[in-house]
A and B are shown apart, each in its own frame.
Chain A
Amino acid sequence: MKRRLQVMLGFSLWLILVGTGTARAGERLIIEAALDRQIVDPVLDAFAAENPQIDLDYRDRSTLEVDQRARDRDSPPDVVISSAMPWQLALSNEGMAQPLDAPEVDQWPAWAKWRNEVFGFTFEPVVMAYRLELASHMPPPETHRDLLDLLTHYRYWLDGRVVSYSPRESGVGYTLSQQDARYTPRAWDLIAAMGAANINLETTTQRMLAGLSEGRYWLGYNLLGSYAMLWAQTHPDIIVQVPNDYSLVLMRMAFVHRDAPHPAAARRFVRFLLSRRGQHILAGQTPLFSVRDDVIGPYTAQRLRDQVGDHLYPIPINATLLAFVDPLRRDAFLRRWDREIQILSE
Chain B
Amino acid sequence: MIPPQTSLKRRLALWLIAIVAGLGTLLLIEAYTSARKAADRAMDGQLEAASLTIAESLQWPEGNPTVEMPASALQILATRWQERVFYWLQADNGRIITQNADLPITDAMQAEARLQPVYLDAVYDGQPIRLSGREVDSAGWDTQEPVQLWVGHTRHGRDLLAQELFRKSATRFAAMVLITAALVAIAMRTMLAPLRRLRQTLRDRSADDISPLRLGVPKEMLELVETLNRLFADQRHHRDALLRFIADASHQLKTPLAGLQSTSELALTSREPAIWRQALETVHDSAGRTSRLAGQMLSLTRLQHLGPGHERQPLALDRLMREVATDWADRQDSRDHDLGLVIDMPTPVWVEGERWALHELLNNLIDNACRYTPPGSEITLTLEGDDERVTLSIEDDGPGVDAESLGRLTQPFERGRRQDTRGSGLGLAIAESIAVRHGGQLSVTNRQPRGLQVSLTLTRCRPPEENRT
Could you tell me which A residues sit within 8 Å of B by CB distance? 90, 92-95, 114-115, 182, 318-329, 332
Is B9 an interface residue, CB under 8 A from the partner?
no
Instruction: Tell me how far the C-beta of B49 lies from the nearest C-beta in chain A, rounded to whole angstroms.
Output: 13
Using A318-B78, A326-B98, A328-B97 as known contacts, say yes or no to A95 and B71 having CB atoms under 8 A apart.
no
Question: Given the complex, which residues of B lie within 8 Å of A328, measured CB to CB?
Answer: 66-69, 97-98
Task: Give the interface of B toward A (CB within 8 A).
Answer: 66-75, 77-78, 82, 84-85, 97-98, 100-101, 125, 127
A residues near B101, Cβ cutoff 8 Å = 94
Beta-carbon nearest neighbor of B87 in chain A = A326
With beta carbons under 8 angstroms apart, the residue of B74, B82, B84, B125 that contacts A323 is B74
- Return A88 CB to nearest CB of chain B, in Å: 14
Task: Kindly state the separation between the CA atoms of A318 and B84 in the bound complex, as whole angstroms.
Answer: 11
Are A326 and B85 interface neighbours, CB within 8 A? Answer: no
Secondary structure call for the A interface: helix
Chain B's nearest CB lies how many Å from the CB of A62? 23
Identity of the chain A residue whose Cβ is nearest the Cβ of B77 in the assembled complex: A319
How far is A321 from B74 in the complex, measured between Cα atoms in Å? 9
Contact of B71 among A92, A114, A323 (CB under 8 A): A323
Could you tell me the distance between the alpha carbons of A322 and B67 in the complex, rounded to whole angstroms? 14
- Cβ contact of A93, chosen from B67, B75, B84, B97, cutoff 8 A: B84
- Report Cα–Cα, A321/B78, bound state, in Å: 11
Q: Which of A95, A323, A332 is packed against the most chain B CB atoms within 10 Å?
A: A323
Measured CB to CB, the closest approach of chain A to B215, in angstroms, equals: 70
**Chain B residues within an 8 Å CB radius of A320:** 71-72, 74-75
Q: How far is the CB of B382 from chain A (nearest CB, A)?
A: 107
Residues of A near B82 (CB, < 8 A) are 114-115, 318-319
Given contacts A328-B66, A329-B69, contact A322 B97 (CB under 8 A): no
Determine the residue in chain A with the shortest Cβ distance to B78: A319
Closest-CB distance, B218 to chain A (whole angstroms): 63
Contacts of B66 in A (CB 8 A): 328, 332
Is there contact, CB below 8 Å, between A327 and B98? Answer: yes
* Residue pair A323, B85 in contact (C-beta under 8 Å): no
Main secondary structure of the interface of B (DSSP, over half): mixed
Say yes or no: A323-B67 contact (C-beta < 8 A), given A90-B100, A114-B82: no
18 A-B residue contacts at CB 8 Å?
A: A93-B100, A94-B101, A115-B82, A319-B85, A320-B71, A320-B72, A320-B74, A322-B69, A322-B74, A323-B71, A326-B69, A327-B98, A328-B69, A328-B97, A328-B98, A329-B68, A329-B69, A332-B66
B68: A residues at CB distance < 8 A = 328-329, 332
- Say yes or no: B85 contacts A95, CB within 8 Å: no
A142 and B97 CA atoms in complex are apart in Å by 42
- Shortest beta-carbon contacts, A-B, top 6: A319-B78, A320-B71, A323-B71, A326-B69, A319-B74, A323-B69
Say how far B159's CB is from chain A's closest CB, in angstroms.
Answer: 14
Q: How far, in Å, is B84 (CB) from chain A's closest CB?
A: 5
Q: In the complex where A95-B125, A332-B68 touch, is A326 in contact with B100 (Cβ < 8 A)?
A: yes
- A37 smallest CB distance to B (angstroms): 31
What's the Cα separation between A318 and B77 when bound, in Å? 11
Give the interface centre of A93, A95, A182, A327 by most chain B CB atoms within 10 Å. A93
- In the assembled complex, the CB of B130 is this many whole angstroms from the nearest CB of chain A, namely 15
> Min CB distance, B45 to chain A, in Å?
17
Q: How far apart sit A230 and B283, CA to CA, in the bound complex (Å)?
A: 152
Measured between beta carbons, the chain B residues less than 8 angstroms from A321 are 71
Cα–Cα, bound, A182→B68 (Å): 13
A93 near B72 with CB under 8 A, answer no
Q: Give bound CA distance, A332 to B67, whole Å.
A: 9
Docked pose: A301 CA to B13 CA in angstroms:
65
Tell me, in angstroms, the Cα distance from A332 to B98 when the chains sit together.
Answer: 13
Q: How far is the CB of A108 from chain B (nearest CB, A)?
A: 14
- Cβ of A329 to closest chain B Cβ, rounded Å: 5
A115–B153 Cα distance when bound, in Å, is: 13
Q: How far is the CB of B80 from chain A (nearest CB, A)?
A: 10
Known: A93-B84, A93-B85, A318-B78. 5 other contacts (CB 8 A): A182-B71, A320-B74, A320-B75, A322-B74, A332-B68
Chain B residues whose CB sits within 8 angstroms of the CB of A324 once the complex forms? 71
B203 → chain A closest CB, angstroms: 67
Shortest distance between the CB of A70 and any CB in chain B (Å): 16
User: Which one of B73, B74, B125 has the highest number of Cβ atoms from chain A below 10 Å of its Cβ?
Assistant: B74
**What's the nearest-Cβ distance from chain B to residue A14, in Å?**
39
A318 partner residues in chain B, CB cutoff 8 A? 75, 78, 82
Nearest-neighbor residue (CB-CB) of A326 within chain B: B69
Q: Which residues of B contact A93 (CB under 8 A)?
A: 84-85, 100
Do residues A322 and B72 form an inter-chain contact, with CB atoms below 8 A? no
Name A319's closest neighbour in chain B (CB-CB).
B78
- Shortest distance in angstroms between A181's beta carbon and chain B's nearest beta carbon? 12
- Residues from chain B with Cβ under 8 Å of A326 in the complex: 69, 98, 100
CA distance A322 to B85 in the complex (A): 9
Residues of A contacting B78 in the complex (Cβ-Cβ under 8 angstroms): 318-319
